[in-house]
Amino acid sequence: MSGRLFGAAITRVEDARLLTGTGHYVDDIELPGMLHAAFVRANFAHGRIRSIDKGDALAMPGVVAIYTMDDFADIAQGPMPAMAPHPLLKTPITYHPLSDAEVRHVGEAIAIVLADNRANAEDAAAAVMLDVEYLPAVSDVVLARVANSPTTHSQYASNIAATMKAGFGDCSKVFAKADHVLTEHFDIHRGGCHAMECRGVVANIDLLTDALTISTSSQSPYMVRRHLAAYLKRDENGIRVMTPDVGGGFGPKANVYAEEFAVALAAIKIRRPVKWIEDRQEHFVATTQQRGQIWSLDVAFDNDGRMRAISGHCIHDNGAYAPYGLILPATAIASFPGPYALEALDLTVDVVLTNLVPTSPVRGACRPNVAFLLERLADRIARHLGIDRQDVRQRSFVKADQMPYTTGMKARDGSPISYDSGDYVGALNLVLEKIGASDFETRRKEAKRRGKLRGLGIASCVEDTGLGPFEGASIRVTPAGRVIVATGASSQGQGHRTAFAQIAADALGVELDDVTVETADTAKFPLGISTIASRIAVTAGSSVQLAADKVRAKAITFASHQLEVDEQDLELEAGAVHVKGIPDMKIKLSEIAGALAGSTGVPLPGNMEPDLAATAYFNSNALTFAYGANACEVEIDPETGDIRVVRYVVVHDCGKLINPLIVDGQIRGGVVHGIGNALFERMIYDEQGQPLTTTYGDYLLPMASEMPPIEIHHMETPSPRNPIGVKGAGEGGTIPAAACVISAVEDALGPNGPFISAHPISPQQVVQWLEVAR
Amino acid sequence: MTDQSVTFTLNGQQREAAADPRMHLGDFLRHSLGLTGTHIGCEHGVCGACTVIVDGSPVRSCLMLAVQIDGGTVETVESLGKPGDLSPLQKAFSANHGLQCGFCTPGMLMTLEAFLRTTPAPTEEDVRVAISGNICRCTGYQGIVQAALDTASAKANRT
Ligand code: FES
Ligand code: FES
């Protein structure tokens, strides 16, 4: 693909609204008679609620109602449905909309308070009295896994929710024959996600029809509708879910949350609109987190550095519930073997429950974890053998002429996973050239003269994108000539409206301004999956193309009847179908749309199907694999341990670019997420499961003053697996970034420095390492 | 508590309104006055999403009480350009893809608006420090920094 607009770095159609304060986020919704909700949340990590006393709270100013789970008995009861059931999870481990008797992490919602404003609701929430039998809590995932640990859920005998296994080849054989074997242990710390807009829900009930309307700051409005319908035993048709402007998603907003259910139940019960806006304090204790994993890996390799096999074990910190099933640990397994052509792989992942906030995918899901493991191992091998880090990679990567490459792993349906296209070695070579790796030592020396330790880091990754099953789109041309694109894919700032408009405008020969894109309103498009896993350009983008192709064909058929010209002699341009070579012999799309909208008693030409419109779904049956190679340079102040990332270069291949401006934005934002994981973000809990970092004073996020400029180079290997040749780009920046920064820090600390096997790392740690190395 | 009357200048217009003494300026602008362009990201003074200009200086509206603006001057994102008529800084944000989800954007714009008035020829480092109290989770900051630099240099070229 590429056309007038497809492939062009045009500015976004979303921008004008968002720049002028006229965006419309969930907290901007005001409805007549609306009540404001605040939750009573657990301030303990594990306990059984004996009784709840609402008396004082109900008497407080502005309070209208306080509900616990029991109060919803006439509407619905029981745990929420599992979003992604998995055969290994014998029973779903999901929340109740409000806690049942047992509370399993600090922050779990116990009761919902409705008041005339939020401040009054919060005051009353603080006055609700709980009588609690405290139970032992476990917050350390390693301790949680041992046999005599207190259990997160008192009804389970063990905290191991599931043990997942995967691999290929014969590891013991390859290990026995390999020249070298090393064992390393890794500790990847838990962090948050922190979209700048917290979550929020407005639920409204139509008093005449009983229909429920929900606006939610979500990545998965269709999942909210589906699961809420199942829970309420209502038909989907009576529930409309839409997403207004969403202030960032990055994964956690893909879950269907207890609060979404609780607010809906409260609105049904009180028969008034109810709004709940999560505050940042709640976000720290009630929105899913990620990345906590402990790994132990053995790697077999040859004298020349070629990596041959990996076997390993992971303890995965799942938190207290599994709202998204096992999707997160499954992503860890699926991220192997990355760009490496291994002969054998043997992995076991123990999914372990803790009395902490549940984990679910955060930008990259477990792909950044696995990139960290594989890239650290590659650096480790180089160090062990005394060879260049790039040599290990160049000798171990899947080669371009091996594409499509069957990795040995299996997809969920049991089919073999195969990388579709790409040149991993080429990407690495290019990034080394762009950062100037060959004269890095000069820069290291120059930094040394300034008293700084400079290091070069490299990291590569392969990313599965375009996760199935599908997204869809409908396109309709109105008699006024507007092109309306509707899709179930929700947006959280990715510029979908622009990208889809580019695709549709090209296919239909109209201008960008002629296209309106509507996203994620269940009343406007029937089905959607979720904006996750770098899948929307592939799935929804392809659907827009397919739907536009159908509309185009229809317009041409109509014009061929009308102008009495063969279809192949017609083309679309400037909002009209015209005869090739005779621009004046034309019929406008608006006229075609008007005619196909029908006039009383007049048959349509050629007995055509009414409406200049079409719907298409793209079934993404095979993943398409994006990849990237990153290089960065850091400077360390040996006195303070301060680490500065001073240069960052990305080589990235996500197939055809619909809009390079948008893709670059995705990559840059993604890299900064990864730098945050490497250097700043650390969610800390004490042994009792109390969170200790619940403000941005304690929990550090990457700020502009600490971030480097990020230079991006694209390779464009079209994907053969979808009609527009694209691969996903939403997470490719994040996946190798932490690995890349840590590689650079290790390089800066020099040959006597440590092997760094954990992140985030801190300046204090750097100072200690330097003392040891001295 | 009983509401208190506040009189102030909002985006060039004289306003009088009643405010709950415990309500912060951000909530007051958003929910009492309906100016929802100002966003609330943390309510503890770190993220900068709520930044507005009070008496010429960038201020976190979540850390200031509404009653404190009595007699003062407040500028919010709504005072900049309109969708068909963006301000130079807003245009530069769009041209440099300095926004994605748009949630941090009003705070970024108001921080930089105030900054560029006092620092007409900043370096990249100056801009990064100026917005070092504003979190953006989407853009990686680069487009925002470039937008500020472009706006400054375009203005310098014009004058
Ligand atoms: S909301 Fe005011 S600084 Fe974050
Ligand atoms: S654009 Fe989303 S937080 Fe900045």
Q: What is the pLDDT along chain B (159 residues), one digit of tens a residue?
A: 699 999 999 999 999 999 999 999 999 999 999 999 999 999 999 999 999 999 999 999 999 999 999 999 999 999 999 999 999 999 999 999 999 999 999 999 999 999 999 999 999 999 999 999 999 999 999 999 999 999 999 999 987
| Averaged pLDDT for residues A165-182 | 98
pLDDT tens digit sequence for A672-700: 999 999 999 999 999 999 999 999 999 99
| Averaged pLDDT for residues A45-65 | 98
Torsion angle, CA of A571/A572/A578/A580, rounded to 10 degrees?
-30
- Asked whether the beta carbons of residue A19 and residue B86 sit closer than 8 angstroms, the reply is yes
Which of B39, B47, B104 most suits a substitution to test ligand 2, by most atoms within 8 Å of the C-beta?
B104
User: Helix, strand, or coil here: A109?
Assistant: strand
Cα–Cα distance measured from residue A769 to residue A749, given in angstroms and rounded to the nearest whole number: 8
Residue A40: burial class (beta carbons within 10 Å; 0-12, 13-18, 19+): buried
Same domain, B105 and B152: yes
Tell me what pLDDT residue A413 has: 79
Domains detected in chain A = 15-21+468-619 (3.30.365.10), 31-135+193-286 (3.90.1170.50), 377-465+625-773 (3.30.365.10)
CATH number at B33 reads 3.10.20.30
**Residue in B34, B83, B101 closest to A492 by CB:** B101
Provide the domain count of chain B.
Answer: 2
Cα–Cα distance measured from residue A314 to residue A517, given in angstroms and rounded to the nearest whole number: 43
The first and second tokens of residue A505, run together, are 């405008």
Same domain, B126 and B100: yes
Run of H or E including A107? none
B147: phi > 0 → left, psi -120 to 50 → alpha, else beta; which? alpha
The first and second tokens of residue A265, run together, are 């139940």
Helix, strand and coil content of chain B, in percent to the nearest 5, comes to: 40, 20, 45
pLDDT tens digit sequence for A719-732: 999 999 999 999 99
pLDDT tens digit sequence for A107-164: 999 999 999 999 999 999 999 999 999 999 999 999 999 999 999 999 999 999 999 9
User: Helix, strand, or coil here: A632?
Assistant: strand
- Asked whether the beta carbons of residue B127 and residue A250 sit closer than 8 angstroms, the reply is no
Same domain, B63 and B114: no
Cα–Cα distance measured from residue A546 to residue A542, given in angstroms and rounded to the nearest whole number: 6
- Chosen domain end from B30, B45, B79: B79
Ligand nearest to the CA of A23: 2
Same domain, B36 and B99: no
Run of H or E including A508? helix A496-508
Residues of B in contact with A710 (CB under 8 A): 140, 142
Tell me what pLDDT residue A414 has: 83
pLDDT tens digit sequence for A254-280: 999 999 999 999 999 999 999 999 999
pLDDT at A371 over 90: yes
Residues of B in contact with A701 (CB under 8 A): 135, 137
Q: Which residue of A has its CA nearest to B139?
A: A669
Q: Sort strands A239-242 and A212-216 into parallel, antiparallel or unpaired.
A: parallel
Ligand 1 atom having least distance to the Cα of B63: 2
- Chosen domain end from B50, B79, B108: B79
- Chosen domain end from B79, B108, B140: B79
Residue B20 CB partners (closer than 8 Å, separation 6+): A119, B1, B3, B4, B66
Tell me what pLDDT residue B42 has: 98
Using a cut of 0.90, tell me whether the model's pTM lies above it. yes
Tell me what pLDDT residue A702 has: 98
Residue A686 CB partners (closer than 8 Å, separation 6+): A139, A692
* CA triple A6-A8-A13, angle to 5 deg: 90
pLDDT tens digit sequence for A739-754: 999 999 999 999 999 9
**Residue in A194, A248, A695 closest to B44 by CB:** A695
Cα–Cα distance measured from residue A340 to residue A630, given in angstroms and rounded to the nearest whole number: 16
User: How many angstroms from the chain centroid is the CA of residue A163?
Assistant: 24
User: Helix, strand, or coil here: A25?
Assistant: strand
Same domain, B52 and B110: no
Question: How close is the nearest chain B Cα to the Cα of A117, in Å?
Answer: 10
**Residue in A28, A30, A705 closest to B128 by CB:** A705
Question: How close is the nearest chain B Cα to the Cα of A190, in Å?
Answer: 18
Residue B87 CB partners (closer than 8 Å, separation 6+): B80, B81
| Averaged pLDDT for residues A215-229 | 97
Same domain, B74 and B133: no
Tell me what pLDDT residue B1 has: 67
Average pLDDT over all residues of chain A: 97
Residues A632 and A647 sit within 8 Å (Cβ to Cβ) = yes
Phi, psi of A177 (to 5 degrees): -90, -15
A141 touches chain B (CB under 8 A): no
Same domain, B62 and B9: yes
Q: How far is the CA of A199 from the centre of ligand 1 (A)?
A: 16
Tell me what pLDDT residue A412 has: 75
Same domain, B99 and B74: no
pLDDT at A245 over 90: yes
B60: Cβ below 6 Å to ligand 1? Answer: yes
Cα–Cα distance measured from residue A131 to residue A47, given in angstroms and rounded to the nearest whole number: 10
Share of chain A above pLDDT 70, in %: 100
pLDDT tens digit sequence for A755-766: 999 999 999 999
Residue A765 CB partners (closer than 8 Å, separation 6+): A641
Q: Which is more confident, A228 or A91?
A: A228
Same domain, B94 and B66: no
The first and second tokens of residue A588, run together, are 């406008």
Q: Where are the alpha helices (DSSP H) in A101-211?
A: 118-127, 141-145, 171-177
pLDDT tens digit sequence for A187-198: 999 999 999 999
Nearest to A171 by CA among A311, A302, A377: A311
Q: Look up the domain containing B150 and give its range.
A: 88-158
Q: Would you place residue A319 in the very low, low, confident or very high pLDDT band (cuts 50, 70, 90)? A: very high
pLDDT at A710 over 70: yes
Tell me what pLDDT residue A2 has: 57
Cα–Cα distance measured from residue B52 to residue A222, given in angstroms and rounded to the nearest whole number: 36
Count residue pairs from A and B with Cβ separation < 8 A: 179
Whole-complex ipTM: 0.98
pLDDT at A235 over 60: yes
Same domain, B72 and B99: no
Protein residue whose Cα sits closest to atom 2 of ligand 2: B101
Same domain, B10 and B68: yes
pLDDT tens digit sequence for A63-97: 999 999 999 999 999 999 999 889 999 788 999 99
User: Helix, strand, or coil here: A521?
Assistant: strand
Same domain, B61 and B101: no
Residues A300 and A369 sit within 8 Å (Cβ to Cβ) = no
pLDDT at A1 over 70: no
- Asked whether the beta carbons of residue B101 and residue A662 sit closer than 8 angstroms, the reply is no
**Residue in A197, A280, A670 closest to B101 by CB:** A197
- What is the DSSP code string of B137-150? SSS-SHHHHHHHHH
A753 touches chain B (CB under 8 A): no
A248: Cβ below 6 Å to ligand 2? Answer: yes
* Secondary structure, 3-state, A646-707: EEEEEEEECECCCCHHHHHHHHHHHHHHHHHHHHCCCCCECCCCCECCCCCCCCCCCCHHHC
CATH number at B113 reads 1.10.150.120
pLDDT tens digit sequence for A582-602: 999 999 999 999 999 999 999
